[in-house]
């Protein structure tokens, strides 16, 4: 990817009001910019200087701290200037305008989303997995997700992947050397223990995949849709899981007319729970607003990772519940929740069935809620381990799955001894390419554009 070396600037702090706001600039050389901004002051690298920030006519915009980082010893690997002032949106915009004005002769322009981090990647300050971890740390919705993002940002994920790449390269060298010198008649597979080396790589990759999969859960969470007949207790269950009154609860059927979303944490896993309008047969008694709510409910069901179907344990399923069950999309796990066991006499329990998992609880009395939480974690595939997790993205998991597939093909070719050494070598090459794409060693410009465009401006 070609690096645009024109200097850039942006507000680096979040929109809104705050005690401190930062305007950041980066470029190959920021000496002309600093001279234009502070003609009577020489900024020393890595030393904070308190001074007034002035407009072109000399009037004071703000007073604050200027910090200069000389490249390559900076976040982007270029010269970086940070102006730290007060965090009002108007004053920050005035300061940014002044910075852009002062740098017009050197080609200073407004930064694109994620461009500071993209330059850090292109200048070898971060690899691609670390760069993505910057955005993940900013967006982390739980403490566990933040810790795992920090783990990836520190390079732990990249080091693990790079070790797999090195092991794969070492095995490739042995295979290809044997292909280049067939006259040596060396029994490669036996003498170099190629199968044993490959087995070690496969096992290591599987361990990385498990850690990355658990980390992906921390990042993405689980989309859980709560459906059922009107007034069966959906809002009460949402409140019980959330530990707060986030949904209106009344004895009147049809209280929820539109979806109510709430993100909760279970063992650090974010669960995006959507309480929907009650599903019932549409007839003349259903008004237009409720009809729209029911249609939206089915739209949410189609996008769910898990469906929680709530039923009344005291009165049993209604006739319409059978129609609802038949209409659920295939392939989406279903938890059939029998609510109001405080009225039915059932004990809190979990029962496995062919069509779904059945959980008996009382949302009103908070009985059996822990059983439901445990079942949600089981469906999510969460396993509590003592190992640090990598906050992986879907593209990382795709690359790891593809690498695993190529290594499995390599194992199949290795079983045929030297008759398929060329195919063995090719599968190793393809596995290496997939692993290397995680850290960005082999990444297309299109992929980089997509990744960094999702960053916030100023990062």
Domains belonging to the chain, first-starting first, are 8-127 (3.30.1360.120), 139-217+393-440 (1.20.120.430), 221-380 (3.40.50.300)
Percentage above 90 pLDDT, the chain: 42
pLDDT at 444 over 70: no
pLDDT digits (tens, 9 = 90+) for 365-376: 999 999 999 998
Are the C-beta atoms of residues 148 and 218 closer than 8 Å to each other?
A: yes
* pLDDT for position 7: 95
The torsion angles phi and psi of 185, rounded to 5 degrees, stand at 55, 45
Across the beta sheet with 349-352, what order do the strands follow?
260-266, 269-275, 222-228, 306-312, 334-339, 357-360, 349-352
pLDDT tens digits along 142-166: 787 888 888 888 888 999 999 999 9
Q: Count CB-CB contacts under 10 A for residue 191.
A: 10
Residue 253 predicted with pLDDT over 90: no
pLDDT over 50 at 281, yes or no? no
The helix or strand, by DSSP H or E, that contains position 256, with its residue range, turns out to be none
Tell me if the bond preceding 72 is cis, omega within 30° of 0. Answer: yes
Residue 262: band (very low, low, confident or very high) from pLDDT cuts 50, 70, 90: confident
191-219 mean pLDDT? 86
- The residues that bridge with 335 in the sheet, in sequence order, are 308, 357
Digit-coded pLDDT (tens) for 394-439:
899 999 999 999 999 998 887 776 567 788 889 999 999 999 999 8
Residue 390 has pLDDT above 70, yes or no: yes
> Is residue 396 within 8 Å of 431, Cβ to Cβ?
no
pTM above 0.85, yes or no: no
Q: Mean pLDDT score of the chain, rounded to an integer?
A: 83
Q: What is the pLDDT of residue 181?
A: 62
d(CA 234, CA 245): 12
Residue 77 or residue 145, greater confidence: 77
Tell me which range, 24-38, 200-214, 416-430, is most confidently predicted by mean pLDDT: 24-38
């Amino acid at each position: 990817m070609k690096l645009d070396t024109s200097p850039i600037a942006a507000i680096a702090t979040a929109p809104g009001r705050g005690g401190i706001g930062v305007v950041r600039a980066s470029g190959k050389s920021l000496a002309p910019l600093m001279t234009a901004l502070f003609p009577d002051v020489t900024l020393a690298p890595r030393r904070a200087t308190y001074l007034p920030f002035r407009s072109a006519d000399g009037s004071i915009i703000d007073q604050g701290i200027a910090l200069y980082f000389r490249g390559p010893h900076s976040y982007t690997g270029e010269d970086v200037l940070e102006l730290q002032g007060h965090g009002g949106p108007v004053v920050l915009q005035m300061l940014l305008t002044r910075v852009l004005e002062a740098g017009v002769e050197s080609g200073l322009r407004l930064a694109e989303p994620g461009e500071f981090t993209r330059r850090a990647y292109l200048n070898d300050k971060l690899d691609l997995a670390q760069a993505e971890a910057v955005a993940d740390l900013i967006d982390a919705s739980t403490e566990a997700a933040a810790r795992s993002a920090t783990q990836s940002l520190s390079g732990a994920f990249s080091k693990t992947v790079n070790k797999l790449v090195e092991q794969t390269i070492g095995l490739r060298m042995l295979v290809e050397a044997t292909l280049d010198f067939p006259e040596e008649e060396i029994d490669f597979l036996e003498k170099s223990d190629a199968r044993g080396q490959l087995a070690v790589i496969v096992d290591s990759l599987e361990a990385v995949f498990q850690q990355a999969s658990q980390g992906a859960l921390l990042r993405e969470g689980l989309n859980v849709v709560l459906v059922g007949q009107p007034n069966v207790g959906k809002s009460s269950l949402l409140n019980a899981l959330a530990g707060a009154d986030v949904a209106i609860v009344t004895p009147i059927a049809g209280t929820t007319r539109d979806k109510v979303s709430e993100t909760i944490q279970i063992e650090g896993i974010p669960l995006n729970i959507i309480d929907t309008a009650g599903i019932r047969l549409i007839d003349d008694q259903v008004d237009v607003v409720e009809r729209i709510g029911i249609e939206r409910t089915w739209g949410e069901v189609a996008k769910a990772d898990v469906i929680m179907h709530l039923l009344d344990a005291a009165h049993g399923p209604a006739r319409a519940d059978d129609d609802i069950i038949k209409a659920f999309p295939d392939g989406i796990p279903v938890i059939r929740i029998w609510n109001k066991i405080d009225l039915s006499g059932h004990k809190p329990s979990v029962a496995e069935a062919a069509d779904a998992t059945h959980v008996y609880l009382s949302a009103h009395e908070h009985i059996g809620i822990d059983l439901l939480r445990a079942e949600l974690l089981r469906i999510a595939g969460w396993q509590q381990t003592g190992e640090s997790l990598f906050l992986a993205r879907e593209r990382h998991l795709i690359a790891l799955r593809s690498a695993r597939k190529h290594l499995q093909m390599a194992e199949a070719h290795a079983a045929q001894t030297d008759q398929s050494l060329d195919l063995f070598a090719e599968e190793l090459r393809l596995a290496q390419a997939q692993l290397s794409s995680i850290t960005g060693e082999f990444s297309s410009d299109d992929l980089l554009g997509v990744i960094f465009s999702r960053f916030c401006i100023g990062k």
